Chain A
């Protein structure tokens, strides 16, 4: 599972627009997507601290006008949030494997 998480994160990061400079609309869209994903994780009571800080970093960079950095951080936050919801979903059954019987 760990490997697939890393791959998913790399994939999400590599999809960030590289050719042109990012603008505010791109940032807003990326931030909104990340926020939705992180809210879903929080709703499952499985938020990660790193998601929260990546989201905060995105907001800070976006407010400062550095949209390239803001989008990168937002994408990272989104990938982390999705990884945490994946974890919460798979653990619904997987926890039993750890149980002492």
Chain B
């Protein structure tokens, strides 16, 4: 009996010691180092899911579940985003009232460039997303901006993503303290718990990818933006990255920020950077 108590106390002590050793890790390493962060981020998923091919992470829940993958392959033969894609192609080619087109606003005429967005604009000192760039293009040409969450915006980005399919994500962080701060800010947003349910982005997409949340299978955070925009059966329509962030927030009972708020742009910058090297798979279809 005595021996057992001693053993218990001993193991308790050992646990405490282990905890004491483990906890300093939490506060250490405050220097912003995107390269190491991205490596650690990718390794975490590669080790957690050794059977998933690296380039397959961009297919979200389909990389996690064999049944869903079969259904999705069949669906991809006749994808639900096809109407949006065609509409986007037409919109992209249609000139504005002043005769210019979207192609005039983007490098390489807007074709095959999705993988470089979002980028850090050193003149402005802020992250610029594809959606933001598209609306700025419209405004510069005297057109009213589109809603950031769906419809026209999702159609346009669907087309631009489609022309970039298979290209590896290629986000650069310039040697600028403001760019590093944007990256760090996005990382903080990603891991910060919010809402009454006390969830962070990572609670679902780092700790539990492949697990079910009600009837859905959670997608891994790695490469999650490579598939944007997406047709979601739940929305019965298309949605942009902004729409995804807004619904994630409200599902945890946090009041969402306005689309393209600085925090959202920064978290998009962070998530895209850590997915560098993984192919663009958008537009995607999700349940």
Verify B202–A98 contact, CB threshold 8 A: yes
- Contact present for A48 and B195 (CB under 8 Å): yes
Considering only residues 53-101 of chain A, those with a C-beta below 8 Å from chain B are 80, 83-84, 87-88, 91, 93-101
* Given contact pairs A45-B257, A80-B196, A91-B194, A96 touches B40 in the complex (Cβ within 8 A): no
Instruction: Establish whether residues A50 and B253, one from each chain, have CB atoms under 8 Å apart when the complex forms.
Output: yes
A83 CB contacts on chain B under 8 angstroms: 196
Known: A91-B192, A100-B40. A48 touches B27 (CB 8 A): no
Cβ-defined partner of A96 (8 Å) among B26, B195, B250, B257: B26
C-alpha spacing A50/B255, complex, angstroms: 9
How big is chain B's contact interface, by range? 20 to 34
Q: Nearest chain B CB to A9's CB is how many angstroms away? A: 11
Q: Is A3 an interface residue (CB 8 A)?
A: no
Interface size class of A (residues with CB under 8 A): 20 to 34
Asked if B196 and A49 make an inter-chain contact with CB atoms under 8 angstroms apart, the answer reads: yes
Residue in contact with A95 in the complex, picked from B25, B188, B196, B250, CB distance below 8 Å: B188
CB-contacts of B224-283 with A (<8 A): 250, 253-255, 257, 263
- A2 interface hit (Cβ, 8 Å): yes
B253 touches A49 (CB 8 A): yes
Shortest distance from the beta carbon of A2 to any chain B beta carbon, whole Å? 7
Assess whether B193 is in contact with A94, with CB atoms less than 8 Å apart: yes
Inside 8 A of B187's CB, which chain A residues have their CB? 99
The reply to whether B206 and A100 contact each other, CB–CB distance below 8 Å, is yes
Q: Does B44 contact A (CB under 8 A)?
A: yes
Q: Among B187, B200, B254, B255, which residue has the most Cβ atoms of chain A within 10 A? A: B255
From B194, B195, B206, B257, give the contact of A98 (CB < 8 A): B206
Residues of B within 8 A of A100 (CB): 37, 40-41, 44, 202, 206
Closest 9 CB pairs of A and B: A47-B255, A95-B191, A98-B191, A95-B192, A100-B44, A91-B192, A49-B253, A48-B196, A97-B26
Please give the residue numbers on chain A whose beta carbons come within 8 Å of chain B beta carbons, in ascending order. 1-2, 42, 45-50, 52, 80, 83-84, 87-88, 91, 93-101
Question: B residues near A, CB below 8 A?
Answer: 25-27, 29, 37, 40-41, 44, 187-188, 191-196, 198, 200, 202-203, 206, 250, 253-255, 257, 263
